[in-house]
Amino acid sequence: MIFHKCCLVILIITLISLYIYSKKENFDTDNTPQSQEQLPTSVQLRNEISRLLDISKSRIHNLIYEGDIKLNSLRIDFDILDNNFNENIQNEISKDEAGKKAIDLIRNDKFIVRINDKSVIIRPILQSNRDKEIQKDKYFNNEGLKDIVKYTRNKYITVPNDESLTNFYTLGFDKDYKLEPKI
């Protein structure tokens, strides 16, 4: 009888051990880091820019890119944020130095990043203020609000600056100590 109980306990312990071992193995395989190909292009681009400029990924802000990776050419535009306290401690380069470094790399066609295991040359998006406005409109397509914005911009520009428009009523006391409006 004791022999049967011992065999049952050993069997249960073995099954529990196998269960824990299989869970541990599954947990380890699920957390393997993703390869570069599985990451979105924007994440890969942010990682590569931060690597080339020797700054943290969190400092790259407003990243906009256009182009075709298959043609090995992308046009990008991004802002570099100032150092925070931790980045100052780690001796990261300043915003101005990072900007100069990026401009030098772009001028010499050495701003080359790896996206989806392809080398891609990075060039800037050249645009004037009008082009920026057009680009914003590319993502915002509510025509009614665009018309209102255009109308208000025209009205704001064409409103005369008349001093009588800025005179406001104030409340004052008359001789009987009653409130009366005054200009």
| Model confidence, pTM | 0.50
| Pair (49, 99) in one structural domain | yes
| Pair (114, 145) in one structural domain | no
User: Per the structure block, which two tokens stand in for 20?
Assistant: 């824990």
Give the least confident one: 5-14, 77-86, 120-129.
Answer: 120-129
Residue that has been written with the tokens 């690597």 in this structure? 51
Residue 96 maps to a domain = yes
| Pair (118, 134) in one structural domain | no
| Pair (87, 58) in one structural domain | yes
| Pair (112, 143) in one structural domain | no
| Pair (134, 88) in one structural domain | no
For residue 144, what are the domain limits? Answer: 129-160
| Pair (93, 51) in one structural domain | yes
pLDDT at 160 (0 to 100):
56
Residue 114 maps to a domain = yes
Q: How many domains does the chain have?
A: 2
| Pair (79, 118) in one structural domain | yes
Between 49 and 33, where is the model more confident? Answer: 49
Residue 166 maps to a domain = no
Burial of 63 (0-12, 13-18, 19+ CB in 10 A): middle
pLDDT at 42 (0 to 100):
85
Residue 65 maps to a domain = yes
pLDDT grade for 155, boundaries at 50, 70 and 90: low
pLDDT at 144 (0 to 100):
74
pLDDT tens digits, 6-15:
889 999 999 9
| Pair (48, 117) in one structural domain | yes
Interior CA angle at 45 toward 122 and 107, to 5°? 20
Task: Measure the CA–CA gap between 77 and 128, rounded to whole angstroms.
Answer: 13
